[in-house]
Structure 1
Amino acid sequence: GMIKSIVANSKEQAIKLVVNRVPSAIEAKRVADRLTSISAQFLKTQVESLGFVFEEDLVQKSIRSQRPHVVLYPGSKSSACMNHISARLLNSSAADDGSGIFGFLQKLLGVGSDREIGLF
């Protein structure tokens, strides 16, 4: 699938995983462990798990209203998951060069790599 395509096109590309729409943290860990294990065994590549997002009806409501989920429902479990993943991405070493998706997120959120995120 997708991981195999990324590895085939760019062996230097860091692969990061977000497990989406899971009912529990246990299920998310099971899925992430399986994907990272299979990727290491068969593709000889490391996959870093950034976290997971809980399945919630609130996500579908925000999609229908075409408004950001973390804005409409900031106290939800899925918003907490998204904030955690964002903080991990922004705090990663790849965020330091200011390019790519990391640079885009820094500019969008007004956060520099030398400033604390403060989400957790």
Structure 2
Amino acid sequence: MIEIRRLDRENLTRAYGLDSERLLPWDVLNAPFEGAWCVVRPGDVSTAHSHHEYEIFIAMKGRATLVVEDERRELVEGDIAHLIPGTTHQVLNEHDADFEYYAIWWDTDMSAAFVARHEEKKR
């Protein structure tokens, strides 16, 4: 079985200084991670934050600046950035077009819950 969810650009939710659509809830998906499609509009800066999860950003469209602690790096479509837990990070779009990326985050609790759900389905 395959199920495809399409990004609904007209109904994104504003959070952390950017527009996004969360991966969950999605009834058919059992995954050891969470995620969100993120759109950083021209001139927008995401809220600087840190958390206990590991995270990757997959740049899909455009370009932006990723700031992690005191380091600034350009992020362009096709790039993947890995963020370790506890690092303060934010995304700045200083360009004339939207920057779109997919964020995926995970921790050991998410992994353990995935394994438990997976084992339950096998019974």
Fold agreement, TM-score > 0.5 = no
TM-score bucket (shorter structure): under 0.3
Name whichever structure is richer in strand by fraction: 2
Bigger RCO of structures 1 and 2 (CA < 8 A, at least 6 apart): 2
TM-score, with length taken from structure 2: 0.24
Q: Which has the higher helix share?
A: 1
Q: Give the structure-1-normalised TM-score.
A: 0.24
